[in-house]
A = this chain, B = another copy of it.
Amino acid sequence: MHINENFLKLKAGYLFPEIARRVNAWTEANPNKTERLIRCGIGDVTEPLPEAVRNAMHAAVDEQGVAETFHGYGPEQGYAFLRDAIVENQFVGLNISADEIFISDGSKCDTGNILDIFGQGNKIAITDPVYPVYVDTNVMAGNTGEADENGAYEGLVYLPCNAENGFAPAIPDEKVDLIYLCYPNNPTGTTATREQLEAWVAYARANDSIILYDAAYEAFVQDSSVPRSIFEIEGAHECAIEFRSFSKNGGFTGVRCAYTIIPKNLSVTASTGEDVTLHSLWNRRHATKFNGASYPVQRGAAAVFSDEGKAQVSALIEHYMGNAALLRKACQDCGLTVFGGENAPYVWVQCPEGTDSWGMFDKMLEEAQVVITPGSGFGAAGEGYFRISSFNTRENVEEVCRRLAAI
């Protein structure tokens, strides 16, 4: 009996348990201040699910109560009503068809499961700092060696993103097979320009690489010159897979719906010389190891694209981006240098000289009772930064701003 011993290489989830440990220790030492605590750490939405979504879910639940409208197993790839709505609302003019959209129950699943269709021996590039799921799923899949004392895994190609390079990772000077890009970025809240993405697509096509493009925060883009999809870039249909989610636009973190776009002309040559489309591999994976997203959830997701749904989602985005603007300004008013937060719900703040990420975490907790996320938790290049999330009520954000002014 063999277990997957790659799991044993995983470092214990360090970041969020350590945050919880420090918050608990502070709470125990300061029982009378506990109610002052404001959490700006986690990337979870706080505002109610849009009414249009709830109405659609209610109607779908009612349908399930009548034999004539009852929905059992649906298509594993998702219902046509949702795939069509996505194409008509999100990919106009981008040459994406409904059968290139695979509906799922979440982008965390999709970005992890996608590795099933890739074999052993691929060279993987990730940006640093990065969403930890990309790293951990590659460790589990055996695409790395052991971690060093800084938590960096042998065999991964880390692409540092910092103030010096404007958070634009350098194109690797070696050949890599898979490249994870996330724009607007979690955790830095920064975006990529069209020219930067064109350079990535050119690199991928020249090196037979695949770009795994995570666009979970696409809805937060305010600047019309910032690309929202990798498929806005010519040639991307031959080298990229895109992940999208209803979590952060529609507020679906607890309801669960996402999708993956794989163009049908994205193919790889097998060792037999045969050209194999990644679409056919993912379709087989999806149909064999997944049984479709919940029907009422898919109805709710489709309602995001109704007129009411669009207006309600816009209001949510405006709310969170208003929070981001307030947080940016408050940090700047303290003399801190800030990045992101203009086309993304995260503000990435440089720690004052002489203070590291965890030092800043402790200072914010002790002096302002505000929980932030230390940048080093997202990778070595995140050291010297911290992340403030704008997913919060306006009231809490205004209070955080007042406290920042006071420290």
> Which A residues have a C-beta under 8 Å from some C-beta of B?
1-8, 10, 13, 42, 44-49, 51, 54, 57-58, 61-62, 64-67, 70-74, 105-106, 108-109, 112-113, 116-122, 133, 136-137, 140, 177-178, 208-210, 251, 253-256, 268, 270-272, 274, 276, 278, 281, 284-285, 287-297, 393
Contacts and interface: CB of A to CB of B under 8 A. Distances in A.
Contacts of A133: 288-289
A268 B4 CA distance: 11
Contact of A48 (B48, B64, B118, B296): B64
Contacts of A290: 106, 108-109, 112
A1, A54, A209: most-surrounded residue (chain B CB, <10 A): A1
A276 B106 contact: no
21 contacts: A2-B119, A2-B121, A3-B118, A3-B268, A3-B270, A7-B281, A8-B270, A8-B276, A49-B65, A70-B254, A106-B290, A108-B290, A112-B288, A112-B289, A133-B288, A140-B288, A140-B289, A253-B291, A254-B294, A255-B294, A255-B295
Contact of A119 (B5, B47, B66, B117): B5
Nearest to A253: B72
B70 A47 contact: yes
Contacts of A272: 5, 8
